[in-house]
Amino acid sequence: MELETDVLVIGGGMAGLAAACSAADAGASVIVVRKGHGATADSSGAIDIAGYLPGGNTPFQSGREGLRAITGLFPYHPYSVLGQESTETGSQFEKALERVEHSVNMLKKWLSGTPAETIGSLERNISAVTVLGTSKPTSLLQKTMLPPDWDDDSILLFEGFAGNPDFNAVLAAKTFMAERARVGEPPKKIADSELTLSPFGKPYNVSPVEIARHLDHPGGTAFLADSLSKDVERTGATHIALPPILGLKTPAENRRILEDRLDVQVFELLSFPPSVPGLRLLRSLDNTLAGLDVRILEAHEAMNYEQSGNRIVRVQCKTHHRSLDILPDSVILASGKFIGGGITGSENGLSERLFGLPVVSEDWTSTDGIRPQRLTRPISINSRGHALFACGVAVDMHLRPLDGSGNTFAENLFSAGSVLAGYNYPVEKSGLGVALATGVFAGTNAAHALQEE
Amino acid sequence: MTKTDYDVIVIGGGSTGTAVARDCAMRGLSTLLLERDDIASATVGTCAGMISSGLKYMEEPDIVDMCSAEVVHFNHIARHIIAKDPILTPMLEMSDLSTGGNFAEEYSKRAAERDVPPVLFLTPEDSLEIEPMLNPEIIASMYFEEFFIDPFRLCLLQALDAQRHGADVKTYTEVTDILLEKGAVRGVKVFDRTTGETSEFISSTIVNATGPWAHKIAALAEAPLELRLNKGAHVILDRRVVNVGIVTKAVDGRMIYLFPHENTVLLGTTALDTWEDPDTLTASHDEIEYLIKSMEWVVPSIRDARIIRTMEGVRPLIATWKVPEDDVTRGYEIVDHKTDGVAGLFSFTGGKLVMCRHMAEAVTDLVCEKLGIESECRTDKEPLPGNEDDVDVLALAEEYGISQHTVERMRARRGTETRDILALTRDHPSWKSTICTCEPVIEAEVRYSLRNEFPQTINDLRRRLRVGTGPCQGTFCTYKVAAILAEEKELDSSVANLELLNYLAERWKGKRPSMRGQQLAQEEVVQGLYACVANLDRVVVNYEPGPWEEDA
Amino acid sequence: MSEEEAYEFVKGTLEEEGIVPFHDDELETVKSIENCINCGLCINHCPVVASVGLDRFSGPRSIAVQLTRSPPEYWATADTIYLCTGCGTCREVCPKNVDIPEIVNIVRARIFKTRRDLVPKGLFGVHETLTDYRTAFEPWDDVEEKEASRDMRIERLGLKFVPDRIKDEADVLFYPGCQAEERAQEVREAGKMILEHFGINYTLLEEFNCCGLPARLMGDDETARSLAADLRRKVKALGVSQVVTTCAGCTSSLNDIARRDEWGVPVYHMVEYLVHEVGLDGVRSALKARSDGVLKVTVHDPCHLIRHTSRQTMQDALALLDAVPGVEIVPSGVSDSCCGGGGLVAYHAKDVASAVTQENVGGITHTEAERVVTPCPLCTAQIEASLFRDGSSIEVDDLSVFIAQRLVME
C-alpha cells in the first residue's frame, strides 16, 4: 500500500511531534510513523532548555543565559545550529534565542488546556524538586509540578503512598531539607508521611498510574483529601509535595480540589519512569496533532528508503503483518538516540539506523569504528557526562543531516531531537528543549521547502 | 565489653575463610572472622559458582576424587542454593572427539556417587533438538552434568552459621598488622573502615585465607609467601539464552564455557597472569572478544545476545612457574609459617570453590592439633541455614498473596528462611512490594537482610539478595534500596545519596567494558534518571572515585 | 548407553528440570524480549494492569525482565502468565517492541507441557473441544437445529441465504473461523453474501478446521501446530491464491502461521479485501441505506487486527463504514482498548476479563452511538455481553453483517 504526504515524520517523541505540529501549522499534510513510545513518554514532567554547561556546577539562572553560554562556546550544539542564519539579523545567540522562544510559545499553545499544560519561560529557570528530594534547574514544567512560593513559616510535607516504592517520602524529605539548609533558603520545616490509598484494595505494589487513574474518578481526589487531612493537621503543613500522581485527565482540577479542601498548596515532584507526567505529555501532544489532522501511524517502523537524485522519495514502513510505502515530499528524522533506537551501537561502533548516516561525537568528529566504551568515562554519574550521549548525526543550518563528506545527505531530509549530535542532555539538562526547538525548526523548514517547489 | 581474645582469628571472608570460621566455631573454638570488605566480595564473588566435579583437572586423580566427594557433601548441606546444569560439549572436528574420550572415562568413574549419569554421547540432530542455538555443523556432542551453587549465599551462610556457633564476624575490618612475639603470632591490629578506629585482637593462631592478598597478609608477619596470581573474566548475559551449559575449546585451545546461572548465563573464562592490584581490575576488551569469538564457533548467535555486564576476578594459584596456567595444579596448600619462624600463622594458596569445606577441615585439624583440642569435623554433616526442610512455594504464595515466581526466587536464595521473611509482611503488608523488578526482590527481604545479615552497602545487599543483578543492572531498584537502607541504618541523606552513587559506580564498573547493543539504551535510561532528572551529577559533591575509576 | 538411549535420558532430565527446548521458529521472539530496558512504559498502558492493578497482574515489563529469564522457573509464572489478554498494547508502545504477547504463548506452552496441573482448569474445556472436534466450539449435535438457528439469525438480521460454495479451482478461500462456523453463523452467511455479490470466485473448506489460535493461547502447542498443518495442507490442495476471513483473530493467526509455515498465499480480513481488492468505489455503489434517517455508529478496533496485523486495517474498516449511506461515525475515544475477550482470560478469570472490558463499556455508553460495529465476531460477542451486563441497550454488529445488510439486492 502507498500513502502520499507532504511531510513524513519518523519518530513520535517530543522532536517528531513538535515537527509534525509546526509543519501542520504551516499548512502541510503530515504523517507521523511511530514504532513505539520512547524517552519523551518516560520523561519527568520538566521541559529543560539549559541547566548547566557540561562540567560546570553553577546552574544557569535562565534558559536565555544558558543559550548565550552554549551558543558562545559550542559551535556544534544544536542550539548553535539554530542560530547559524545570523548574518543579517543579529548574533547567533539572538537568532537561536528567537527560535527557541518561538518553539516554547508554540508548545505552550499546543498544551494549553491539556492535562500537560506547561508554564515557565526562558527568563528564569525554575528549581524543580524531584522524587529523590533533589532539585534541578529547568525552564518549563507541567503546571501541577511547579513548586509554590514558600517562606520561613512554611511547613512542607512530603507525602508518600504505602506500597508504592517508586517514591520514598522519608529520604526525599531529608534530602530536600539538607539542601535547603545548605543554601539557607526556606522552607525551614519539612515533614514526611505516608498514607494508604489502594485503588485495588491492597497496600502493596501500587503503581503511580493506578493512583493517577483513581484520582480522575469521581470522588477519588476528595477521598485523597480526607486521607491527607490527618497528616496536614498533625504536621501543620502549609505545602504538600506529592509524587506525580495527580491524575491523567484532570490533574489541575484534582490539585484544586486538594488545595480547596485542605487549605494548603500542593505540587507534584519530577518523576522517574514509569512516568505519569510523561504519559500526560505524550497524550496531550497526540491530541493536539489529531486536532491538526495529522495522522500518527502507531507501531509502524521505517525500515528502508529510496532516493532519487538528491531527494528521498519513498520510505518503506512495516507493521506487524503489513507493509506500507510512504511517498513524502519532505522527511523529518526524529528517531531518537539509544532509547528511541535512532542510533545503535555495537563493538564495531555507532550507526544511524535508517539512512546509515555517519555518527559523530559532540564536536562532530567521526566515531567511525570507535567502540562505545571509548566514548565513556570511568565514573558513571559525572557532571561532564559521557561523550556517548552526545553522539548523533551532524546537520547543516537547516537541520539536514550531513553525509560522510560533510555534504547535505538529501535536500528534503531534515532531523531533530536526540538523533542529533552535539549536546549532552543528561548533564546539560537540555533534552526536551533541544528536541522541541529543533523539532519546530525542522518542521517549519520541511513545510517551507514545499512552498519553494 | 567487646571480646578481644580468641582461640583463632581467620582473615578473609571468601569461600575459604568463611568455611574455616564455620568449622572452627563448630568445633568449639572461640573464633573471629575478619574481612576487610564484605563477605564474598573478591575472588569467590566473580566465579561461576560451579562446584566442579574436577573436569578441568583430570590429570590429577586425587583432586578429582576430592572434588567429587565435596560435591556430595554440598548437596547434603546446601541443596537449597544448588542447581544442576546439564552440559553439552559440542564437537566440530574428529580431534575434539579424541580429547573428549579421556575426560569421559575419568568423569564417568565417579558419576554414580554424585547421582549423575556417566558421560553420554549424542548425535548432532539430537544435540540440536536439545539446544537449537548450537552450530548445525557439529558432528557429535558429549553430555554430562555439573552442580552450581550461589557463591554469595554459600559464603554468607557459612559466616552466619559460624556466628550461630559463637564466632564473631567483622566485615569492613582490615588487618593492618600482625602482632608477633617470640617467633609466634600474638594477634592482629585492625582498622575499622566504617568507624575509622583501630584496635587489636589477640590470638595465638591466625588463618590467612585472603586469596590473592595472602602474600601481603603473610608479609605483615614478615613471612614469605609466593602466589601466582591469575585473572579471569566473565561476560554475563541477561537471561538463560541456552537450555544447557556449553563447554568448548577457546581460540588458544583452553576450555571455556557458557553456563546458565540463576537467571543469567555466564560466559567464561579467561586466564591471564596478573600483577595488578585486584581492586582495580576490570574486564578488558581483549578478554571479552576472546570469549565471544571462542564461543561463536559452537553457538553462532552468541555475539547478538544481550551482554549486561562483565566481571573480573583473581585466582590465587600455587606458585608454579614456566608452565601454562592450565598446567598449574588446582589443588591447595596450607603453609605453616612456623618453618619461617612465625608460629601460629597458616596461609592458604591455591584451591577452588568446591574445595573450600575440605580446605577448612584440613586447616582446622591443624589448628586443633596446635591448640591440643580433640574435636571432630561436622561441616559435611550439618545443614547450612535454610536447608533444614523443603519449602512449599505454591502454598506460601497462596498464604501470603505473593506471586509464585517471587516466592520461588526467594526460596532459591533462602530455603526455609523464606517463611520467616514472608511472616514479616503480616505486620507490614506494604513490604510485599517488589523493590527489584528483575530478580525479583520484595521489601521484606531487603529489611530482613539489613537486620540479620550485617550488610553495610547496597552492594552488600546485592550479594545477599541479587538486587540489581538483572537486565537493568540496578537502574530501577538502586534508589528504592537506598531509601530502605537509609531508614534501617538511620543514614543522613548525604550518606544515602553517596551510597546510591557508589552502587551505580559498582554496576558501571562491570557494564562499561562490554557496552553495546541494548545496553546502550539501558545506560541512557540510567543517565536519564540519575543525572538528567535527579541531578545527582551536580547534587552529590563529595563522591570519592573507586580505585578503578581513576580518569586516565 | 546407545545414542538413542542417551537422547531419551537427556530429554528426561531436561523435562525434570522443567526445560522444554525452544523451536527454531520461537527463537526470534525469545530474542526480542532481551531488548527490554525495564522502563515500565507498558505498565502505564496495559489494560489488565489498569483493570486489576499491578499486584494482581505484574504487567508486561515483569514478563520481560523477570518471568521469562529462566525456563526452569516458567512453572512458577502460572499465576500471572494466564492473565494476559494478549492485546499487544505493550508491544505497540514499547520503545523496543518487545514481543510480550508471543512470549506469553511460549511460556504457556512450557507450562502446559511440564506442569499441566498448574494450567487454569477453565482452559481444559477448549482443549478437549479442539482435540475432539478440531474446532474451538463443540459442533451442533443436530445439523437441522444448526440450520434452523442459522435461518433464524438470517431472518432476524435481514440477510439473504446463499448456498455454501465448495468447489475446485476457486481463487479465494473464504475462512469464516470457528465462531462464525458454530456460533455467530450470521457472520459466515454475511461473508458469503458479500463475496457472492461482488462475483468473487471463492470456496469454503469442505471440512473446516480451527486455525489453532485458541490452542496456542492456552499453550497446547502440539494441537496448535497440528491444526495449522492441516489447514496448510487444505489450502495447498485447493490451490487458491488468496485467503479471506471475517474474523480478526483468524486474520492475525492465519497470517502468523502462513508466514511461519510458508504458505505463499496472502491472508486478508474482509475489510482489507473489500477496500484493496474489490475497491472502495465498487463497494460504495453496491451499498444503500437500510432505513431513513442517520444511524450513529461507533467502532471497536479488534486487537488482533490493529495490533497483531496492522493499524491500517481499521482505516479500511472506517473507509468502508464511511461508504455506507445513512451512517454517521461517532468516535468513542476508547475504540482501540481491549475488550477483555483475548488470551482466553475469560475462560478462567471472568472477573479480570470483565474488569478489562469496563473501559470499553464506559467509553461506548458515553457516546451518542446507537450501534457498535466491529470487524470481529468474537469482539462482537464480548462487547454485546458486556453492554448487556451494564444495562445498555446499544446493539453490536459484526462489520461483515453490517455491510451485508446494506447490499443493494437485485
- The answer to whether position B141 is within a domain reads yes
B246 and B161 in a common domain: no
Chain B nearest C-alpha distance from A261 (Å)? 28
- CATH code, domain carrying B302: 3.30.9.10
- The answer to whether position A120 is within a domain reads no
B339 and B197 in a common domain: yes
| Chain C residues within an 8 Å CB radius of B123 | 3, 7
What number is the average pLDDT over the span A179-190? 93
Pairing state between β B227-237 and B206-208: unpaired
- The answer to whether position A228 is within a domain reads yes
Q: Which long-range contacts (CB under 8 A, 24 or more apart) does C79-82 make?
A: C79/B397, C79/B403, C79/B404, C80/B403, C80/B404, C80/B405, C81/C107, C81/C108, C81/C111, C82/C108, C82/C119, C82/C120, C82/C123, C82/C343, C82/C344, C82/C345, C82/C348, C82/C349
Buried b (16+ CB within 10 A) or exposed e, B142-173: bbbbbbbbbbbbbbbbbbbbbbebebbbbbbb
CA nearest to B524 within chain C: C37
Question: What is the sign of the dihedral through the CA atoms of B241, C98, B510 and B494?
Answer: negative
B308 and B241 in a common domain: yes
Residue with cell 573478591: B42
B234 and B198 in a common domain: no
* Minimal Cβ distance to B516: which of A134, A372, A431: A372
Pick the last residue of a domain from A269, A293, A321. A269
A141 and A94 in a common domain: no
Q: How many domains does chain A have?
A: 2
B397 with C19: Cβ contact below 8 A: no
pLDDT confidence of residue B552 = 45
Pick the last residue of a domain from A246, A269, A292. A269
| Chain C residues within an 8 Å CB radius of A301 | 97
* pLDDT tens, residue order, chain B (552 aa): 579 999 999 999 999 999 999 999 999 999 999 999 999 999 999 999 999 988 777 888 899 999 999 999 999 999 999 999 999 999 998 877 776 777 888 899 999 999 999 999 999 999 999 999 999 999 999 999 999 999 999 999 999 999 999 999 999 999 999 999 999 999 999 999 999 999 999 999 999 999 999 999 999 999 999 999 999 999 999 999 999 999 999 999 999 999 999 999 999 999 999 999 999 999 999 999 999 999 999 999 999 999 999 999 999 999 999 998 888 988 999 999 999 999 999 999 999 999 999 999 999 999 999 999 999 999 999 999 999 999 999 999 999 999 999 999 999 999 999 999 999 999 999 999 999 999 999 999 999 999 999 999 999 999 999 999 999 999 999 999 999 999 999 999 999 999 999 999 999 999 999 999 999 999 999 999 999 999 999 998 888 888 888 754
Pick the last residue of a domain from B290, B322, B354. B322
Chain C nearest C-alpha distance from A38 (Å)? 5
Residue with cell 438480521: C157
CB contact set of C83 (below 8 Å; sequence gap of 6+): C48, C52, C56, C57, C343, C345, C349, C352
B498 and B363 in a common domain: no
pLDDT confidence of residue B497 = 96
Chain B nearest C-alpha distance from A375 (Å)? 10
CA nearest to B478 within chain A: A166
* pLDDT tens, residue order, chain C (410 aa): 889 999 999 999 999 989 999 999 999 999 999 999 999 999 999 999 999 999 999 999 999 999 999 999 999 999 999 999 999 999 999 999 999 999 999 999 999 999 999 999 999 999 999 999 999 999 999 999 999 999 999 999 999 999 999 999 999 999 999 999 999 999 999 999 999 999 999 999 999 999 999 999 999 999 999 999 999 999 999 999 999 999 999 999 999 999 999 999 999 999 999 999 999 999 999 999 888 889 999 999 999 999 999 999 999 999 999 999 999 999 998 999 988 889 999 999 999 999 999 888 999 999 999 999 999 999 999 999 999 999 999 999 999 999 999 999 86
Q: Inter-axis angle of helices A14-25 and A92-111, to 10 degrees?
A: 90
8 Å CB contact between B456 and B38: yes
- The answer to whether position A121 is within a domain reads no
pLDDT confidence of residue A86 = 59
Q: How many domains does chain B have?
A: 3
B456 and B359 in a common domain: no
How would you write B159-177 as a 3-class SS string?
HHHHHHCCCEEECCEEEEE
CA nearest to C275 within chain A: A1
A220 and A198 in a common domain: yes
A83 and A199 in a common domain: no
- The answer to whether position B14 is within a domain reads yes
A339 and A435 in a common domain: yes
Domains recognised in chain C with CATH numbers: 3-119 (1.10.1060), 130-274 (3.40.50.1860), 281-405 (3.40.50)
Answer whether A130 touches B (CB < 8 Å): yes
B253 and B196 in a common domain: no
pLDDT confidence of residue B59 = 82
Q: Which residues, numbered 87 to 106 in chain C, qualify as contacts with chain A under a Cβ-Cβ cut-off of 8 Å? A: 88, 91-97
Q: How many CA atoms lie within 13 A of C296 on its CB side?
A: 11
Per the structure, the complete domain to which residue A181 belongs is given by 131-269
Residue C36 sits at φ, ψ, to 5 deg, of: -60, 135
Buried b (16+ CB within 10 A) or exposed e, B91-120: bbeeebeeebeebbebbeebbeebebbbbb
Distance of CA B138 to the CA centre of its chain: 33
- The answer to whether position B406 is within a domain reads no
- The answer to whether position A241 is within a domain reads yes
- The answer to whether position B530 is within a domain reads yes
- CATH code, domain carrying B219: 3.50.50.60
List pLDDT tens digits, range A100-129.
999 999 999 999 999 999 999 999 999 999
Per the structure, the complete domain to which residue B279 belongs is given by 84-145+228-322
ipTM: 0.98
Pairing state between β B245-249 and B82-91: parallel
- The answer to whether position A274 is within a domain reads no
A285 and A317 in a common domain: yes
A175 with B526: Cβ contact below 8 A: no
User: Using CA atoms, how far apart are residues B22 and B32, in angstroms rounded to an integer?
Assistant: 10
A303 and A442 in a common domain: yes
Q: Residue A196 CB: number of other CB atoms within 10 A? A: 13
- The answer to whether position A391 is within a domain reads yes
- CATH code, domain carrying A296: 3.50.50.60
B355 and B251 in a common domain: no
A215 and A182 in a common domain: yes
Q: What is the overall mean pLDDT for chain A?
A: 96
A336 and A265 in a common domain: no
Q: Which residues, numbered 178 to 207 in chain A, qualify as contacts with chain B under a Cβ-Cβ cut-off of 8 Å? A: 178-179, 202-206
- The answer to whether position B452 is within a domain reads yes
Answer whether A386 touches B (CB < 8 Å): yes
B523 and B474 in a common domain: yes
Q: Which residues, numbered 251 to 290 in chain A, qualify as contacts with chain C under a Cβ-Cβ cut-off of 8 Å? A: 273-276, 278-279
B244 and B130 in a common domain: yes
| Residue B91, beta-bridge partner list | B140
8 Å CB contact between A52 and A60: yes
Residue with cell 551462610: B157
Residue A110's identity, in one-letter code, is: W
- The answer to whether position A122 is within a domain reads no
- The answer to whether position B69 is within a domain reads no
- The answer to whether position B118 is within a domain reads yes
A143 and A87 in a common domain: no
Pairing state between β A323-333 and A413-415: parallel
A291 and A171 in a common domain: no
- The answer to whether position B76 is within a domain reads no
- The answer to whether position A52 is within a domain reads yes
A412 and A288 in a common domain: yes
Buried b (16+ CB within 10 A) or exposed e, C297-325: bbbbbbbbbbbbbbbbbbbbbbebbebbe
B447 and B335 in a common domain: no
Pick the last residue of a domain from A218, A249, A269. A269
8 Å CB contact between B298 and B133: no
CB contact set of A182 (below 8 Å; sequence gap of 6+): none
| Chain A residues within an 8 Å CB radius of B521 | 338-339, 341
CA nearest to C15, candidates C129, C112, C104, C96: C112
A422 and A288 in a common domain: yes
Question: Residue C101 has which C-alpha cell?
Answer: 504477547
B316 and B290 in a common domain: yes
